[in-house]
Each structure stands twice: as structure tokens, then as C-alpha cells.
Amino acid sequence: MSQETKAGLRGLTGGAAILAAALTLTAGTAQAEPRTLTITSLYSADKPQTLVWVKFEELLEEKLPGQFAINIITDGALGGEKEEAEGILLGSISGSLSTIANLTTWVPEGALFDMPFMFRDQAHIDAVMNGPIGQDMKDLYRAQGFTVLDFITYGSRNVISKDPIGSPDDVKGKTMRVLPSQLHVDLWASLGANPTAVPITEAYGALETGVVDYMDMTKSGFHALKLFEVAPNLTETNHIWSLGVMYFSNNVYNSLTDEQKAVFQEVAAEASDYFDQLAADEQDASMELTLANGAAIIPTDIAAWQVAMEPFWQSYAEKVGGMDRIRAVVDTQ
């Protein structure tokens, strides 16, 4: 308490002095309540999609103590990806994660990242998304009401097969189980394969009986569905990556001070790296289990697949903004 305050209180007696002192102390120690941000996750508390927000909250508290409280709503309680995006625009949700594919409803330019065999590895993805291409995407999202703080990587699809597949030539004449997507059908047909849409619930039997020779799948799905029992070979093509965003509503972000905005950006960068590592570890752990059960990893040269992709890229270029955009991603170092 300052000397001036003490002098002022000496002029009061009894209850008045006690009340004045209490009010003075309260005013000096009171702090604003933390601002609550509502964050959604489609998954349970132990999954990377939720743990990333726990990390975000921890980092935010370290750098801006007492200013924010993160309320994480798990298990898709407020709806799927589309509903989450709509909730962010309406203001009922502060922030979340989303696949880029989901946000093509608002930013169709994101379809570029569905192009197969564009990315060499995670380092290549980081170089693209942290550069001018990623910044252009952030600007497009912001124009639609979304502030993207950073990009994340959920994982990738790889080729699994009964007989080893090491190069694009190895798929010619073979029958492939594909997702019911025109892009996937066109992709494998362009390499000389026979694409066949088979429900995932029937994929095991189709591989076992020879209805299809190969398919693509994430490493975690390869293990979870026990597909290694009937298709023991996995070629690490990483041909289609599932990319996403860590994003907030423009209204939430715009309401932050400049200091808070800088911290949010810093925290998101660290949290997104944490998510990528968790997701990669989850895929690697699944792969280790399949290897222990007799699966094998088949080596391949991604550059050879990219050469084989050129006609396909050309055929789809108009749909994703032109061949220059595809080449800009592929050629990023």
C-alpha cells in the first residue's frame, strides 16, 4: 500500500477505515477473468486431434498466463468437420482442426493438395506450406472468415499388395481396389491398372480371393483392418497426403491484441509440429505391429512415380488452378 493511501486512511476511523482498506487491497489485486475459447475435436481425449489442443493450452498459459481458458469439446459432440467450420463462422466455436479437403466448400483452390505424388516427404510439405503457396492459401481462407494459424499433416496413403509393387510399371494390368472417387479411379487408370470400387468392409475378402490385386491405405488402417494378412507388402508411395489446418474464426483472431496475435502464431507453430509428430508416431507404431506380423516394406523411387504422373497432372490441371500451380508444389525445395 502506498504512503499516500496510508495517509488517507489515517483520516478515517472504525468500520469506515476497515472498509476503505479492504476496497483498496481488492482493487490492487483483482485480475480480469480469463477469456474462454471453445475448441472442438472429432476424436477422444487420447488422440492427436485432441492432444494438440492440450499442448496449445499449455503453451498459451506459459506465454500469456491467466489470459485464456481453453474449453475442449471432444468426440465430435458439436458435429462433424462441416458443422465445425459452420460453427466457427457463426461464432459458436472459436477454433478447431479441419482437413483441407473439408474446406474446399469455401476455398476450392485447396483441391490442389489432393493431387497424387506431389509431395516427397514431410519436409517437402513443410517447405511448401510455410512458403508463398501456404501464405496464399491462408489469404484465401481469411477472405472466407477463417484465420489459419498453421497447417498440419494427418498422414498419407500407401500401396499395399499381394505381390510386391516397386514401380509404376508393376501396376499395369493389375486390378486395384479404389475409393469411390473419380480422382482415384482416373489416377490408377492412367497408370494402366484396372480400378474397381470395393467397400472397405469387403476389401479384406477381395484381396484374399484375388478379386483385386492391390489397394491403397494408411499404415494405421493397414494394421487395424488386418489387411497385412492377405496383402503383406506395403510400398511407401505416400501418394496422397491428408493435410489440414489449425484455425480460428476471423472474429476471435481480430479481437486479440497485437501481442496476443503474435503469441497465438508462435504457439500454433509449435503445437502443429507436435501434432505432426504424434500423427507420424501413430502411423509408425501401426507399421511396426504389421512388420512383426510378417508384413514387408517394398522400396520405391518417388521420382519415377512423379514422371509417370505427368499425363494425369496435365488432365487435372484445369481443375486445380493450372499446371503452374502443380509444378510450383512439386518443384519446391
**pLDDT value, residue 36:** 97
Into how many domains does the chain fold? Answer: 1
Its domain, for residue 271, covers 31-330
3 within some domain? no
Q: Nearest 5°: phi and psi at 58?
A: -60, -45
Q: Average pLDDT, whole number, for the chain? A: 92
Mean pLDDT, range 193-202, rounded to an integer: 94
Q: Comparing C-alpha atoms, which of 288, 286, 246, 282 is closest to residue 264? A: 246
Helix (H, G, I), strand (E, B) or coil at 155: strand
pLDDT at 168 over 70: yes
Query: Crossing angle, helix 14-29 and helix 3-10, to 10 degrees?
Result: 160
pLDDT at 237 over 80: yes
195 within some domain? yes
pLDDT in tens, 275-289: 999 999 999 999 999
Q: Nearest 5°: phi and psi at 173?
A: 80, -5
**pLDDT value, residue 31:** 62
**CA gap 181, 316 in Å, rounded:** 14
Q: Find the CATH number of the domain harbouring 102.
A: 3.40.190.170
Residue 233 and residue 212 in contact, taking contact as beta carbons nearer than 8 Å: no
Which triple of cell numbers denotes residue 60? Answer: 498459451
> In this structure, which amino acid lies at residue 307?
V
228 within some domain? yes
Contacts 24+ apart (CB under 8 A), 21-25: 25/1
Q: Parallel, antiparallel, or unpaired: how do β-strands 146-161 and 214-217 relate? A: antiparallel
Give the helix/strand (H/E) hosting 240. Answer: strand 233-249
pTM of the model: 0.87
Q: Partners of 157 in the beta sheet?
A: 240
Output the CA–CA distances (angstroms, integers) from residue 175 to 158, 171, 295, 300, in the order listed. Answer: 16, 8, 21, 20
Which triple of cell numbers denotes residue 183? Answer: 480422382
What percentage of the chain carries pLDDT values higher than 70? 91
261 within some domain? yes
> In this structure, which amino acid lies at residue 279?
A
Give the helix/strand (H/E) hosting 239. Answer: strand 233-249
Which triple of cell numbers denotes residue 224? Answer: 487395424
pLDDT in tens, 45-68: 999 999 999 999 999 999 999 999
What percentage of the chain carries pLDDT values higher than 90? 89
pLDDT at 14 over 60: no
pLDDT at 18 over 50: no
**pLDDT value, residue 180:** 86
26 within some domain? no
20 or 145, higher pLDDT: 145
pLDDT in tens, 22-51: 444 444 444 689 999 999 999 999 999 999
pLDDT in tens, 243-284: 999 999 999 999 999 999 999 999 999 999 999 999 999 999
11 within some domain? no
**CA gap 86, 102 in Å, rounded:** 11
> In this structure, which amino acid lies at residue 166?
G
